[in-house]
Amino acid sequence: MTFSSTAQPCQPTPRPLILGSSSAYRRALLTRLGLPFSVISPDIDETPHPGEHPAATARRLAREKARAVVALLPEDQKHALVIGSDQVAVMGDRQFGKPGSHDKAVEQLMALSGQTVVFETALCLHDTLSGESHEELVSTEVEFRTLARDEIEAYLHKEPAYDCAGSAKSEALGIALLDRLSGDDPTALVGLPLIALCRLLRRVGLNPLLV
C-alpha cells in the first residue's frame, strides 16, 4: 500500500470517477460534490476476520471494495479513480454491522440504548493509473439516548434502517435516538466522509471546486 502526500496539478478534464458501493446513501452523498460518476456494486464477503479490530475491518473492506471494482472495469475506464468505503459501529468489544432485519435492528438498538458508540468509517480512493491506494479513517462518537422498547419499534416502523450499521439514520429521524455526536466530518456518519474524500481527490489532481 502506497500513500502520497504530494498534491498533483489539477486536471482540466476529470478522469472517470467510480463509486464502488450498493448504498443509496453513499450515492446521494457523492452527488453533493457535483462530479460526474458511475456506480459499480462490489461483490465481497463483509464478514469481519476473527480478532480483527473494527477500524481494521472497515479499512480492509473499503480497500477490498475498491479493488473488486477495479477488477471489473472495462478497458475504456482503466484510468478511473475508484472509491471504496465501509463503516463499522463498535461499543466496547462488540461490533455492529447492518442488521438486515427488524428483529436484529431492535436487538441492536436495545443494546446501544444509553451507550456511547464509535462509528469507524473508512475510505479508500484507488488510482488505477498509478496503482496507488489512498486511505483515511474517520471516527465519529455517538451517544444514544436511553430508549424505551416502544420508541425503538415506532422508529423502525417509520424508518426501517435495516441497511445501516447501528440501525439508525442520523441524517433523518434517527437523529431523535441520539443525545450527542462528535467527529471531524458530519457526512462520515452517513457513510461517505466527503471532507476526507475531497482531500484525497485533490491529492490525485481532481479538485471538485475547479471542475
102 and 160 in contact (C-beta within 8 Å)? yes
Q: Which residue has the higher pLDDT, 1 or 139?
A: 139
AA identity, residue 168: A
Encode pLDDT of 108-157 as tens digits: 999 999 999 999 999 999 999 999 999 999 999 999 999 999 999 999 99
Residue 13 banded pLDDT, cuts 50, 70, 90 = low
100 burial via Cβ count (<10 Å: 0-12, 13-18, 19+): exposed
Instruction: Round to whole Å and give the CA distance between 61 and 135.
Output: 12
Instruction: Round to whole Å and give the CA distance between 46 and 58.
Output: 9
Encode pLDDT of 158-210 as tens digits: 999 999 989 999 999 999 999 999 989 999 999 999 999 999 999 999 999 99
Mean pLDDT of 2-14: 48
**Residue 11 in this model has a pLDDT that exceeds 50:** no
Q: Which residues is 118 bridged to in the sheet? A: 90, 141
Characterise 191 by phi-psi region: left (phi > 0), alpha (psi -120 to 50), beta (else).
left
Nearest to 53 by CA among 112, 115, 133, 137: 137
Residue 8 banded pLDDT, cuts 50, 70, 90 = low
Q: Does 86 qualify as catalytic in the annotation?
A: yes
Asked if the 17-210 domain carries CATH number 3.90.950.10, the reply is yes
Q: Residue 177, Cα to own-chain centre: how many angstroms?
A: 20
Determine the angle formed by the axes of helices 149-158 and 102-112, rounding to 10 degrees: 130
Residue from 43, 76, 86, 185 carrying the catalytic annotation:
86
